[in-house]
Amino acid sequence: MAFKFEKLEVWEGALDYADRVEAIATALPNHERFNLSDQIRRAATSVALNIAEGSTGQSDAEQARFLGYAQRSLIETVACLHLIRRRGHLADPQPLRNAYRQAEVLLRQLVAFRRSLGATVREDLVSYDLPPPF
């Protein structure tokens, strides 16, 4: 028996993103192991977990709420990417660029999915259309 979230394209995208973030976190220096490395891993994992959790037996409003949590976790990973870049933890900025672009796509998917639910949620959706910093 398949779970509802396993059929969602956005969930697959979140898994792919978590894998990309894992590669970045693994490349960070040892002194960031209990700071940025763990933080970005947890936040990226949280994106996929919130999509899954919100999909199971919930109302549209409840699912929209969990998609909001997924968005917040995704934005947290983007903030971590900025910190990694600013601190010069990676010699090659290309993995950060790739993750940033993938985060933009994933955010658009999350926002679109959330809007498609037509559920009433308490917060306004924010557009994060900014030029890439990397």
> Please, how many CA atoms are within 13 Å of residue 3, restricted to the half-sphere of its CB?
11
CB-based contact 22:121 (threshold 8 Å): no
Given this model, what pLDDT does residue 42 score? 98
- What are the structure tokens assigned to 81, written together? 């990417």
21-32: average pLDDT: 96
Grade residue 58 by pLDDT with cuts at 50, 70 and 90: confident
Distance, in Å, from the CA atom of 22 to the CA atom of 25, rounded to the nearest integer, reads: 5
Grade residue 118 by pLDDT with cuts at 50, 70 and 90: confident
29-42: average pLDDT: 95
73-93: average pLDDT: 97
Fold of 4-116: de novo design (two linked rop proteins) (1.20.1440)
Indicate the domain borders of the chain.
4-116
Does position 54 have pLDDT exceeding 70, yes or no? yes
